């Protein structure tokens, strides 16, 4: 029994030493976990870092300083006359270089506050006040045009103007109240007031297929002094009503600097355009080979601009990923939905200026 008692006592001491070792290991693991939690808790928030980066980085622009070169062998996209020759697949796979971001860190507090008020006004359908606030921001000279807040402000301004233009609500901007006379037609009224049939229909709550008007009918008309400025470096089409910015659209331009600079007029407007290839083959609207999208607005050079610059235009695209890039053969590309909207706003002979 003595031997048994001695053996039992020795085993107890061994287990105590093992238990003590295990406790130390557990304590070490707990302390390491606590330390790791403290480091994790005080690390910079990924959300905050993302928001700071989004605020500080501006939309990228790709600068181009070389002069445009017209090459009769590389004509731009056109409907019917002077069509584009499709680029080889190897060329189409080449993408534009990544844009260099511009930064504006210090936006004045009063500009931020004004933007907040503009956003709130738009959300409560106060489009006139939203537009006024946005115009004040953009005209203040305190906001870099490459800053994200400039883009956001311009977008609210754009949406407000479209709401005003396309609504049948009698906004103060629709200064003309027209009564239909004998012999009138929508096309005749549109031409008289420098607008389009589509805008007349939308502004007076008419269906797009309804061209019927009656004697004595009252119509509200927004008479715009439309002009377009295309910035190649910013990849933006600016639509102006007189000297006031009306809306911005992001665009694609010509590869290898093929989009020319100068002054032009819109001389043709085609819905659902067909594309006539250099070989004489016709690609109907909607075919995958047709590069023109849903709308075509042909440009004719004016003033001192080289009169040989024919065949250029503004058109849609079936490749929305090309917007913001230099991939066309010289024409100005827009998303189909956006070129349809522009098509419905600007009448024939609207001036277009293409700048660097």
What are the catalytic residues?
315, 331
Q: Strands (DSSP E) along the chain, which ranges?
A: 176-179, 218-221, 226-231, 236-241, 244-250, 253-254, 262-271, 275-276, 282-283, 295-301, 313-315, 326-328, 332-333, 351-355
Alpha-carbon dihedral sign for residues 196, 200, 205, 208: negative
DSSP string, 20-89: HHHHHHHHHHHHHHHHHHHHHHTSPPHHHHHHHHHHHBPPPB----SPP---TTS----SSSSPPPPPPH
Cβ(265)–Cβ(309) under 8 Å?
A: no
CA 43 to chain centre: 36
d(CA 10, CA 21): 17
Structure tokens at 330: 């010289």
Token pair 């700048």 is found at 355
Beta bridge partners of 356: none
Cβ(251)–Cβ(231) under 8 Å?
A: no
User: What is the helix, strand, coil percentage profile of the chain, to 5?
Assistant: 35, 20, 45
């Amino acid at each position: 029994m003595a031997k048994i008692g001695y053996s039992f006592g020795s085993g107890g001491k061994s287990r105590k030493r093992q238990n003590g070792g295990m406790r130390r290991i557990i304590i070490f693991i707990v302390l390491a976990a606590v330390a790791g939690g403290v480091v994790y808790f005080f690390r910079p928030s990924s959300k905050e870092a993302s928001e700071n980066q989004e605020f500080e980085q501006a939309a990228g622009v790709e600068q181009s300083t070389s002069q445009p070169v017209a090459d009769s062998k590389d004509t731009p996209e056109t409907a019917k006359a002077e069509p584009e020759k499709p680029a080889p697949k190897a060329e189409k796979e080449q993408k534009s270089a990544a844009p260099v971001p511009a930064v504006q860190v210090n936006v004045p507090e009063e500009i931020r506050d004004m933007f907040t008020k503009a956003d709130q006004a738009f959300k409560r359908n106060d489009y006139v006040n939203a537009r006024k606030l946005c115009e004040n921001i953009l005209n203040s000279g305190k906001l870099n045009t490459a800053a994200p807040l400039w883009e956001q402000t311009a977008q609210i301004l754009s949406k407000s103007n479209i709401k005003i233009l396309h609504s049948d609500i009698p906004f103060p901007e629709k200064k003309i109240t027209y009564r239909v006379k004998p012999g009138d037609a929508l096309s005749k009224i549109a031409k008289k007031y420098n607008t389009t049939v589509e805008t007349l229909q939308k502004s007076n709550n008419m269906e797009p297929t309804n061209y019927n008007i009656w004697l004595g009918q009252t119509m509200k008309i927004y008479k715009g002094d439309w002009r377009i400025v295309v910035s190649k470096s910013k990849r933006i089409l600016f639509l102006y009503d007189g000297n006031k910015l009306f809306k911005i659209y992001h665009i694609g331009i010509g590869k290898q600097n093929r989009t020319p600079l100068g002054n032009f007029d819109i001389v043709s407007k085609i819905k659902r355009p067909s594309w006539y290839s250099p070989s004489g083959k016709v690609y109907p609207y909607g075919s995958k080979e047709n590069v023109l999208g849903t709308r075509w607005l042909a440009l004719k050079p004016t003033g001192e601009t080289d009169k040989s610059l024919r065949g250029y235009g503004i058109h849609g695209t079936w490749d929305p990923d090309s917007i913001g890039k230099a991939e066309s053969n010289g024409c100005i590309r827009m998303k189909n939905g956006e070129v349809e909207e522009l098509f419905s706003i600007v009448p024939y002979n609207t001036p277009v200026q293409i700048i660097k």
